Amino acid sequence: MDSVLSSWQSVVGTLIFIIIGYLIGSFNMGQILSRQKNYDLGKRGSKNYGATNAGRIFGRTGFILVFSFDFLKGIFAALLFTFLAEFIGTQYGVRIFTDASICIALLFVLIGHCWPVYFKFKGGKGVATAFGIFTVLNFFFSALGGLFFLLAFYLTNKKVFIASILSTFFVACLLVMQIYIDTFDAITFDWTENWDLIFLGFSISALVTLRHYKNIKSFLNHENKNEIIEITELKKIKNHKNKNEKIEIIEPKKSKVYKNKYKKAKIIKSKKRK
């Protein structure tokens, strides 16, 4: 009877964590920034609400803001679930939240980021949030994953989607070592030292790969061979007569894959801010 009750408590605890995780993940800074600037990232650039597209459209500040928020969201969620599981188990002597509960909840943080309920299920691709979660699992492996991302980024002629897929898979593979090597005990939590962690690592890697499906398809079909890529950017033009106007600039550019450095930018539209 006690074992059955314990099982039901674990199921209820996991469901509670899943709901909390999904709602936390659904806070999407790319969407928030789009609304604040009245300029929809979902209709420009790669039509995605992640840090890379925010950098394309809003510049370096947009990239830093979105990446930092998404990265810290992953860290916050992982630490929150760790604290709740330990606190309730210690204070009340009830093992309602298991190690598996934490891992599943963190996966739903990433799902919430990719398909946020607050923003009609249109979110990012989860790379920054994934690395935030990886940082709590093992910050040393997360740092190695970041270096691997940079290496893959430059070796693949600055293709973010390839670097993202390979780096998350690389960290997932490194996490397997965490179970067998006691050296990492001092820098990791107890719940990150079992096979539930492996499930979480490779699930994150699979989800990131799934979110880049269109990029993979375009790359394999060479769809960018004769295609002009539009890069949009919002800028204020100095000495412009009407300082309340928003200038929309579109910069056509040949794909770097084919080493055509032709670039030309021109103002195509001017409209008043609402």
| Domain boundaries along the sequence of the chain | 2-220, 228-272
Check residue 92 and give its pLDDT: 65
Tally Cβ neighbours within 10 Å of residue 109: 30
What's the Rg (C-alpha) of the chain? 21
Q: Which residues does 219 contact at the CB level (< 8 Å), separation at least 6?
A: 159, 161, 162
Give the separation between CA 69 and CA 67, rounded to whole angstroms. Answer: 6
Check residue 270 and give its pLDDT: 41
Residue pointed to by tokens 């001017």: 270
* Tens of each residue's pLDDT in the chain, 274 residues: 445 546 777 888 899 999 999 999 999 999 999 999 888 898 888 889 999 999 989 999 999 999 999 999 999 999 999 999 888 866 666 677 888 899 999 999 999 999 999 999 999 999 999 999 999 999 999 999 999 999 999 999 989 999 999 999 999 999 998 878 776 665 677 766 678 889 999 999 999 999 999 999 988 887 654 333 444 444 444 444 444 444 444 444 443 433 334 344 444 444 444 4
Give the separation between CA 200 and CA 164, rounded to whole angstroms. Answer: 17
Check residue 264 and give its pLDDT: 41
> Residue 263 in 3-state DSSP?
strand
* Tokens representing residue 177 in the block: 């070592």
Give the separation between CA 187 and CA 140, rounded to whole angstroms. Answer: 9
CA 214 to chain CA mean position, Å: 16
Check residue 93 and give its pLDDT: 66
> Residue 251 in 3-state DSSP?
strand
Single-letter residue type at 74: G
Single-letter residue type at 250: I
Check residue 223 and give its pLDDT: 60
Check residue 195 and give its pLDDT: 84
Q: For the packed helices 60-92 and 127-137, what is the interaxial angle rounded to 10 degrees? A: 40
